[in-house]
Structure 1
Amino acid sequence: MDSTKPHPARRYDYWLGGKDNFPADRASADMVAEAFPTIRFAALENRKFLRRAVAYLAEAGIRQFLDIGAGLPTVGNVHEIAQDIAPESRIVYVDNDPIVLAHARTLLDSSPEGATAYLDADLRDPDYILGHPDLARVLDLSQPVALMLVAVMHFITDEHRPYRLVRTLRDALPSGSFLVMTHATSDFLTAEDLAENVAANQRSGVPFQLRSGTEFGEFFTGLELVAPGIASVTSWRPEEWHAHPRQEAVSMLGALARKP
């Protein structure tokens, strides 16, 4: 583990108020926050979206989840939400940060009826993920699976062919499966804010690419979007009692779609 280089999972942990991060992560995170001061709102609202999406899927009968880019454990992990509704739910987490691996025992605290596993793997190698024996031990890919790509694809720049990566994962799942994604977007930023944001991310030491709503929508080609479709994470089936930040303050799109 190289603690001198920032990592997205540890930087996200810092924005969420966690302690599992290093000076390089905090410096990188603060650099982004200078250009986008409401970044912590974005991290928090993204996490709330994840909880609502998992609850929706569990209540709809989905019992298998593949969470790639899981990040560090925090309150409301996928298995906690899903197994609270359906204890037999089975979850595989995937991340490539050694600190996440060190905390995997927290992620693996499954209900007796269900199961969880953690894979030390990179999203950019989907064939390795899909062929891993621990994935086959926990998930049955002949039955519907919820593929979770929450706040991770904006770290996959175009040179790594993000659409092909997602399609490889989608194609391995049967009919009735779901794709859940959130993604940082340029849609709610002024031209000046966008330029400043891009420059800050380039300086931060973490590859990052904002995408428009149209570009984000291409990940869902051929899938059936669940209402309200592609939306700000703050307005995707929000809790009515909750006061939400402005879309501009979060600048994150989310969607959930079913594979026909």
Structure 2
Amino acid sequence: MSSTDDRPLTLTYSPCPNDTFVFHAWTHGLLPGTPDVTVDYADIDVTNGRAERGEGDLLKVSYAVLPYVRDEYALLPCGGALGRGCGPLVLTAEGGATSPAGLAGRTVAVPSERSTAYLLFRLWAADLVPGGVGEVVVLPFAEIMPAVRDGRVDAGLVIHEARFTFQAYGLRRLADMGEYWETTTGHPIPLGAIVGRRSLGGERLAAVAEAIRSSVDHAWADPSASRKHVLAHAQEMDPAVADAHIGLYVNEYTRDLGVSGHAAIDALLGRAAAAGLVPATAPLSPAG
């Protein structure tokens, strides 16, 4: 693919409220002069796999997958999910483990083995679960809480709107990976990144970044414009939960990672590499 290729770009992200809110204006033709784009919706485990196989121009992926895809994809400085108080949760059912040590040798469901959530969980478990957990089962994130509730797994690592809905399943929070990360490092927590194929060229990737920032600005200036679209993709999610989801995951880092955002990502990948959990990778810069 050449940098002069002017076909519509492919963009893949989740149907979760934060993503549909952020990209609505750009993907619905509300921003004249921005690059043409076609959209595909997929769960994070799917987008991570596509990035590793080099499938697609622009994708929302887990920060944990960056060391595996950086040769082909560049990190864009906007559009992702990074912040404070928004980390994945470890949930158990009544009668289940009540402390990290109680997960030793137990079965835990996770949303993706390449997810940032799972990477954080592995760092947390190495510190606090003697001998480690037992079997790890990968499930689509929407299936994890029912699996914990029904006793098919001993605990579940959940993301997205599960922060707001787990009590409806009769579950309780055993640990917050965001609290663990922020307490031990002082950094905000990196969750999801937008990456673009390097072969698109620097000029085109810069235009994409500008389109994303404009889309975020439009969404903040007129939240009602994306409301119908967001709720349609949120399916049965309560509108109040969708609003809380957007409020938590769309923040100043969505518009621009900045110095502190890039430092948080470097800290995560550096710590994970030191623990042998991901390949070592060069420190990030706003350009890469």
Q: TM-score if structure 1 supplies the norm length?
A: 0.36
Q: Which has the higher contact order (CA 8 A, sep 6+)?
A: 2
**Larger Rg: 1 or 2?**
2
